[in-house]
A and B are shown apart, each in its own frame.
Chain A
Amino acid sequence: MVEWTDAERSAITTLWSNIDVGEIGPQALTRLLIVFPWTQRYFGTFGDLSTASAIAANPKVASHGKVVMGGLEIAVKNLDNIKNAYAKLSVMHSEKLHVDPDNFRLLAECISVCVAAKFGPSVFTAGFQEAWQKFLAVVVSALGRQYH
């Protein structure tokens, strides 16, 4: 089971309380689709994803970004039980959505870039970055857990 120091818990909850899911979610998913274009294969029903500006303006991308980012709330509220909290989501991504789990890591990277860009170096210090990336790594691992 993951062990969190008090400093890490505090960093994660501080960052989370200042994150607007409606702001960061769309940005993170937009970045994923632009920076790692093969991820577009999972969003065939989203309409026009053919250019960066189409992706950035696509309302389905924006609303799905919010859904995904909102899903992180489960992890923040269950820091000591993330694996079980995400069991169903993991099964869904494996059995229904057939998402290659390496993409979870890529989305986590995009989320971190958005968070860094939003908070800047005096808030997103090395210590906060460590806690945040460890948190996302645990989420990524939990989402990949039920794949067989």
Chain B
Amino acid sequence: MVKWTEEERETIRSVWEKVDIDETGPQLIARALIVYPWTERYFGTFGDIFTTSAILSNAKVAAHGKVVLRALDRAVKNLDNMNETYAALSRLHYENLNVDPDNFRLLADCITITIACKLKAALDPQVQATWQKFLSAVVDAMNSQYK
């Protein structure tokens, strides 16, 4: 199980409270689809996601970004219990959605980039280190039910 210092917990909370799900959510999946185009394969029911402008104006893409961030909120609130918190989601992504788990790492990178754009210098190296530790714990939790 991951150990968190008091300082790390405080850092994660303070980064998270600066994230506006309605603002950041839409950017998130859009960036993943644009920067890593093979991820489009998972969103066959989303309509037109084949050009940058289509992706950026796609309502389902925007909505799904918010869904992902709301799930991330559960990780922030369950730092000591991430594997159990994400067990059902992990199983869903493995058994139903058949998502290659390497994509969790790529999505985590997009989250960090989006937050860096917004927080700028406030995402200083130490904060970045803690935030990326948090995201890699989330990625591990998402991997936990994969065999």
Cβ–Cβ contact A109 & B35, under 8 A: no
Prevailing SS type, chain A contact patch: helix
Given known A-B contacts A113-B113, A120-B120, A121-B114, A35 and B129 have beta carbons under 8 A apart:
yes
Nearest chain B CB to A116's CB is how many angstroms away?
4
Within 8 Å CB of B116, what residues of A? 113-114, 116-117
Decide yes or no: A117 and B31 within 8 Å by CB, A34-B128, A124-B117 being known contacts: no
B30 neighbours in A (Cβ, 8 Å) = 126
In the complex, the answer to whether B35 meets A133 with C-beta atoms within 8 Å is: yes
Q: Is the CB of B113 within 8 A of A31?
A: no
Number of interface residues of A (CB under 8 A): 25
Q: How far is the CA of A130 from the CA of B30 in the complex (A)?
A: 11
B103 is an interface residue with CB less than 8 A from chain A: no
**Contact status B125-A126, CB under 8 Å:** no
CA of A35 to CA of B126 in the docked complex: distance in angstroms?
A: 7
Question: Known contacts A34-B128, A126-B27, A127-B34: does B117 contact A120 (CB below 8 Å)?
Answer: yes
Residues facing A in B107-128 (CB within 8 A) are 109, 112-114, 116-121, 123, 125-126, 128
In the bound complex, how far is the Cα of B81 from the Cα of A76, in angstroms? Answer: 45
List B contacts of A27 (CB < 8 A).
Answer: 125
Q: Which residues of B contact A109 (CB under 8 A)?
A: 109
A4 within 8 A of B: no
Residue pair B113, A112 in contact (C-beta under 8 Å):
yes
**A124 proximity list for chain B (CB < 8 A):** 113, 117
Q: Does A90 contact B (CB under 8 A)?
A: no
Interface presence of A118 (CB below 8 A): yes
Contacts of A117 in B (CB 8 A): 116-117, 119-121, 123
Known: A113-B113, A130-B35. A121 touches B118 (CB 8 A): yes
Task: Check if A56 sits within 8 Å of B109, measured CB to CB.
Answer: no
Jot down 25 A-B pairs with beta carbons below 8 A, ordered by A: A27-B125, A31-B128, A34-B126, A34-B129, A52-B126, A56-B125, A112-B113, A113-B112, A113-B113, A116-B113, A116-B117, A117-B116, A117-B117, A117-B119, A117-B120, A117-B121, A120-B118, A121-B114, A121-B117, A121-B118, A124-B117, A126-B52, A127-B52, A129-B35, A130-B35
Chain A residues with a Cβ under 8 A of chain B:
27, 30-31, 34-35, 52, 55-56, 109, 112-114, 116-121, 124, 126-127, 129-130, 133-134
